[in-house]
Amino acid sequence: MARDRREAAARPHVVSQEELESSVRMRYPNEDAKHGARTIKRFVEMGVGDRVLLSQGYAPNQSKDVYIYGFATVTGGFYDDASSDWWTFKHAADIRPIGRRVPKSLLERTLCKSSMLLTLHEVRGEGFERLESRLRVSDE
């Protein structure tokens, strides 16, 4: 049974939602296994051309600025890089580093989202372009 859970953790792209949840629960007993498994599945299932915002995230009642790590566009499928000593699960991606804090209100206005509580955020359509454009203008 423990071996099955280890295998689920090592192959999130080929296991059921239940197996992945069980593996997450075993590895992170104090975390929400359903949420963790859904997040992993969303990452695995990202497709070429999907765009993501890498940020600190923010709560609806937060007033402090939000750190933006960068933007990424997926350029290749999910793969398991077992030789990596940093991060095993990857997608090929073009990454545009930003590396700075921006007002939370800017993110709320441009993305039309009152909160984003995770580090990796898929941003669809115009919101992505609006935010990229605003950050580029403020860089100059």
**pLDDT, tens digit (0-9, with 9 covering 90-100), for 96-107:** 898 999 999 988
Whether 55 and 39 share a structural domain? no
Give yes or no: residues 58 and 84 share one domain: yes
Please tell me whether residues 57 and 24 are part of one structural domain: no
Residue 58 shares a structural domain with residue 127: yes
Checking if the pLDDT of 72 tops 50, the result is: yes
Would you give the end-to-end CA distance of the chain in angstroms?
A: 56
Q: Is there a single domain that holds both residue 30 and residue 65?
A: no
Say which residue, 101 or 71, is predicted with more confidence: 101
The dihedrals phi and psi of 50, each to the nearest 5 degrees, come to -65, 145
Is residue 71 within 8 A of residue 96, CB to CB? The reply is yes
Average pLDDT over residues 63-68: 92
Per-residue model confidence as pLDDT tens digits over 82-126: 888 877 788 899 988 989 999 999 888 888 888 887 666 666 677
| Whether residue 79 is found in the same domain as residue 114 | yes
**Structural domain containing residue 127:** 51-139
Residue-level pLDDT at 65: 95
Task: Kindly state whether residues 36 and 76 are assigned to the same domain.
Answer: no
Same domain as 77, residue 114: yes
21, 82: one domain: no
Report the distance separating Cα 90 and Cα 80, nearest Å: 6
Query: Is 38 found in the same domain as 74?
Result: no
Please tell me whether residues 96 and 128 are part of one structural domain: yes
User: What are 4-58's pLDDT values in tens digits?
Assistant: 444 444 455 567 888 888 888 888 888 888 888 888 888 888 889 888 888 888 9
